Amino acid sequence: MMECKIVEQDVLSYKGECVVVGCFENDRKILAELDRKLDGRISSLFGRKEFVGELFQLWMISTMKKLPAEHVLLVGLGKQGECDPEKLRRASGHATRYLREAGVKRFGAALHVAQGDAQARVQAVVEGAILANYRYVTYRTVEKEKIRFVDGVDILAVREKKEAEQGVREGQVLAACQCWVRDLVNTPPSVLVPEKLADAARALPKSVKVSVFDKKKIEQLGMGGLLAVNAGSTHEPRFIVVEYKNSSAPPIALVGKGITFDSGGLSLKTADQMEDMKMDMAGAAVVLGTIKAVADLQLPVHVMGFAPVTENMPSSLSYKPGDIVVTMSKKTIEVLNTDAEGRVVLADGLAYAERQKPQAIIDLATLTGACIVALGTVAAGVTGTSQEVIGRIQNAGNRTGERCWPLPLFDEYKEMVKSEIADVRNLGHPHREAGALTAAAFLSAFVEKTPWAHIDIAGPAWSDADKFYWSKGGTGFGVRLLVDVLKSWKKI
């Protein structure tokens, strides 16, 4: 992994391949001294309007030995008043990707130039750089030497030393945990079978208590939802429980959907829809990655993670449309579409979490295509029974750049998932209207009284392209978000 550290040097004294300098739009004042050293080349760029500091604009200048650094990379940060940590994170990712492809191995970064919280600014730059440096190359053998990485980033002199150190420390942990989640999501689905995801849980830091329930234990517990979805699969299911206890308060429960491959089952997906369905365990991976970060940072919280894990496959043993499933809570589900399997396994996941008497439950799931229709990949949908928890998640989303947008949980949606012959049905309206909302309404039937929030990450869990600090594939969306929620947790 890329190494990040704070160095005492500044832009004018940094000795290395490249120094990266943030610039606000039409503001060359803060670059005045650099401009002088470079014989006015920056002012003439501005004068010719070639580089004006527009958001995410890049401009590489060779210093021709006028400075100790060989190159200066100017990075546009847009309007000064509008430069928040997420813009810095993206700018940092954008610059890192550019330099990585240019073959630069180490650079100095002076991107944290905006006003405001020094820790947040430095942390955003560190996260952006590490995340942008990530690529999933485990299975590449051809021309592997051509795949470049940056080895290290030097964060240039920051006045608020203590805050900056903290930003580097937390940024490194969060980005590393997100890369760990990305690896799990990107691992091919025939490799990352349920037992392999359980192995990832077992590899969490020693301070995390890990239990993995096998099929026998899952049967004893009567987790009929998880068993039904698993019925068509050769690989046995797992139910993962992890706990980090660094507070005497009751736990905060995180529940993650862990479908290691979603073919749709007998309600088979089309080839196109199936392409990326190894990502359907992102919720479970993010829960594990969050607990890893919480343990690495030794946050003073008590948190438990739960993940029902299985494939969803067609076979002559598969659960079928028309089946009625008896879940662990004894509530029954009429199955109308085997591709709406996430909610069926989460029924058991949520009910099991509630039995542990947590203060609150937050679940994460790549639950519905409908949520992508509503919000795209730009934000997750958040809903639930606790406006307090939902509000905290939205605020954490705004702080961390992992935005969550509220979806309603009206009674009408609960009506739409009522069944004539069972307690609930796993499909709302036949035309799938309000698909993200009927899915959430379904889940609400399995949380009796605990304050609960549900985050549908189907959109942001996966990126279709390399952009800013995302690479094509899993994003790790949710780790920064949940760690922020836990860090600022207060009794409800």
Is the Cβ–Cβ distance between 306 and 197 less than 8 Å? Answer: no
Give yes or no for residue 363 binding Zn ion (CB under 5 A).
no
> Whose Cβ is closer to Zn ion: residue 280's or residue 484's?
280
> Whose Cβ is closer to ligand BES: residue 329's or residue 368's?
368
Cα–Cα dist 380/417, whole Å? 22
Q: How many CB atoms lie within 10 A of CB 234?
A: 10
Structure tokens of 167? 């930003």
Q: Which residues in the 264-283 window bind ligand BES by CB under 6 A?
A: 280
Structure tokens of 185? 């999501």
Catalytic, 269? Answer yes
Minimum gap (Å) between residue 438 Cβ and ligand BES: 8
Minimum gap (Å) between residue 242 Cβ and ligand BES: 23
Minimum gap (Å) between residue 280 Cβ and ligand BES: 5
Give yes or no for residue 368 binding ligand BES (CB under 6 A).
yes
Cα–Cα dist 62/66, whole Å? 9
Identify the residue among 35, 183, 243, 262 touching ligand BES (CB under 6 A). 262
State the helix-helix crossing angle for 161-186 and 118-132, rounded to 10 degrees: 30
Minimum gap (Å) between residue 69 Cβ and ligand BES: 44
Size of the site for Zn ion (CB under 5 A): 6
Cα–Cα dist 186/255, whole Å? 20
Catalytic, 403? Answer no
Q: Label residue 184 left, alpha or beta by phi (over 0 means left) and psi (-120 to 50 means alpha).
A: alpha
Strands 18-23 and 71-76: parallel
Give yes or no for residue 334 binding ligand BES (CB under 6 A).
no
Partner from ligand BES, Zn ion, none contacting 232, C-beta within 5 to 8 A by type: none
Q: Which residues in the 449-488 window bind ligand BES by CB under 6 A?
A: 458
Partner from Zn ion, ligand BES, none contacting 288, C-beta within 5 to 8 A by type: none
Cα–Cα dist 258/412, whole Å? 28
- Give the single-character DSSP code of 472: S
Is the Cβ–Cβ distance between 119 and 164 less than 8 Å? Answer: yes
> Whose Cβ is closer to Zn ion: residue 183's or residue 341's?
341
Cα–Cα dist 308/226, whole Å? 7
Instruction: Tell me if residue 214 falls in helix, strand or coil.
Output: coil
DSSP letter string, 372-383: HHHHTTS-EEEE
Token pair 């307090």 is found at 388
Q: How many CB atoms lie within 10 A of CB 376?
A: 10
Q: Which residues in the 226-255 window bind ligand BES by CB under 6 A?
A: none
Identify the residue among 332, 337, 385, 398 touching ligand BES (CB under 6 A). 337
Structure tokens of 186? 């990107």
Q: In angstroms, how far is the first alpha carbon of the chain from the final one?
A: 38
| Residue 491: C-alpha distances to residues 93, 299, 384 (Å) | 36, 15, 18
Give yes or no for residue 311 binding ligand BES (CB under 6 A).
no
Q: E-strand spans in 182-257?
A: 209-213, 238-245, 252-256
The stretch near ligand BES (CB under 6 A) out of 11-19, 44-52, 337-345, 443-451 is 337-345
Give yes or no for residue 265 binding Zn ion (CB under 5 A).
no
Q: Which residues in the 274-293 window bind Zn ion by CB under 5 A?
A: 280
Give yes or no for residue 311 binding Zn ion (CB under 5 A).
no
The stretch near ligand BES (CB under 6 A) out of 65-73, 145-153, 157-165, 334-342 is 334-342
Identify the residue among 122, 309, 340, 350 touching ligand BES (CB under 6 A). 340
Which residue of the set 343, 403, 425, 480 is catalytic?
343
Minimum gap (Å) between residue 450 Cβ and Zn ion: 24
Identify the residue among 251, 381, 435, 476 touching ligand BES (CB under 6 A). 435
Tell me the longest C-alpha to C-alpha distance in the chain.
81
Which residue of the set 41, 169, 269, 320 is catalytic?
269
Give yes or no for residue 262 binding Zn ion (CB under 5 A).
yes
Partner from ligand BES, Zn ion, none contacting 369, C-beta within 5 to 8 A by type: ligand BES
Q: Which residues in the 347-366 window bind ligand BES by CB under 6 A?
A: 366
> Is residue 59 packed enough to be buried (19+ CB in 10 Å), middle (13-18) or exposed (0-12)?
middle
Give yes or no for residue 369 binding ligand BES (CB under 6 A).
yes
Give yes or no for residue 314 binding ligand BES (CB under 6 A).
no
> Whose Cβ is closer to Zn ion: residue 224's or residue 342's?
342
Q: Which residues are catalytic?
A: 269, 343
* Residues of the shown chain interacting with Zn ion in the complex, contacts defined by CB under 5 A: 259, 262, 280, 339, 341-342
The contact set with ligand BES (CB under 6 A) reads: 262, 280, 337, 339-342, 366-370, 372, 427, 432, 435, 458
